[in-house]
Amino acid sequence: METLSENRSFGGVQGVYRHRSRATGTDMTFAVFMPDLAAGERAPVLWYLSGLTCTHENAMTKAAAQHWCSEAGMAIVFPDTSPRGEGVADDKAYDLGQGAGFYVNATRDPWAPHFRMWDYVVDELPDLVTGAFAVAPDAMGITGHSMGGHGALTIAMTHPDRFRSVSAFAPIANPTESDWGQKQLGAYLGDDRAAWRAHDATILMTERGYPDEILIDQGSADQFLDKLRPESLAQAMMARRQPGQFRMQPGYDHSYFFVQTFMGDHVMWHAERLFRCLAGSS
């Protein structure tokens, strides 16, 4: 792991790092904010998955997360959204290819050799981070925005034993029925729609849900509401009687101004649950 930068931030350290990924077969860049810790202490860790076109840097600089994570005593990790570099497949459209990994393991060419973001986020990067930083592997939560909210929800519902808390900002909630989903899932996974089901939060909510509460914030003025389909997920939560909160925030759009506004709520939501995990394991 190579250190690209480290800066003092809210009493902790915001770092950017690069490593060679087994999952993607490429160099991957990610960011970690570590709060100030006492000797021997390990922090809960929140994973933040970003949306279409983003890198690790967007949320690191725009989400206003470091202040809240410092207050809570919690680390936060910002992975990239896709593999990148020479020889990595791409597309002219902004919503496919580099910057648009959709947090799946691609099975179709030309994407299959490198686009394995599910394995990268679920297994490889958590193992690297928990080995290199003073974070607790049994107190990990996950959140994300838009495409990243889709990834956070689908990963958490599939691996609730690994990700002990989950929230989302304006997630792509029903991709199998949306223009933001059908195109990408078809390209990465092929035409068999049965293979898409594992990557649709509405379907997973209907079939399995999540063992703890879920927090979702959605802006009522989001310009992409028709593509996000929040009503599908909200209905599935109600039908399942899933514990949690689905908050429609009046007047907010899809931007990072929306994410900033509610980031403190989400960090503290995760902190409450993850510190409970730490207390239970001590």
Per-residue model confidence as pLDDT tens digits over 225-277: 999 999 999 999 999 999 999 999 999 999 999 999 999 999 999 999 999 98
**Could you confirm whether 254 is annotated as catalytic?**
yes
Handedness of CA 147, 153, 155, 156 (dihedral sign): positive
Q: What proportion of the chain, given as a percentage, has pLDDT over 70?
A: 99
| Mean per-residue pLDDT, 139-155 | 98
| Mean per-residue pLDDT, 18-29 | 98
Q: Which of 21, 82, 146, 232 is catalytic?
A: 146
CATH 3.40.50.300 fits 2-281, yes or no: no
Q: Which of 80, 200, 217, 222 is catalytic?
A: 222
**Could you confirm whether 191 is annotated as catalytic?**
no
CA 221, 144, 75 angle in degrees (round to 5)? Answer: 135
Q: What proportion of the chain, given as a percentage, has pLDDT over 90?
A: 96
pLDDT in tens, 207-229: 999 999 999 999 999 999 999 99
Residue 191 in this model has a pLDDT that exceeds 60 = yes
**What is the torsion angle, in degrees rounded to the nearest 10, for the CA atoms of residue 184, residue 190, residue 194 and residue 200?**
-10
Of 104, 211, 214, 213, the C-alpha closest to 161 is 211
pTM listed for this prediction? 0.97
**Residue 194 carries which DSSP code?**
G
Residue 282 in this model has a pLDDT that exceeds 60 = no
**Could you confirm whether 282 is annotated as catalytic?**
no
| Mean per-residue pLDDT, 171-187 | 96
Q: Which of 56, 114, 150, 254 is catalytic?
A: 254
CA atoms within 13 A on the CB side of 251: 2
Q: Where are the domains of the chain?
A: 2-281
Residue 127 in this model has a pLDDT that exceeds 80 = yes
Of 164, 142, 72, 144, the C-alpha closest to 102 is 144
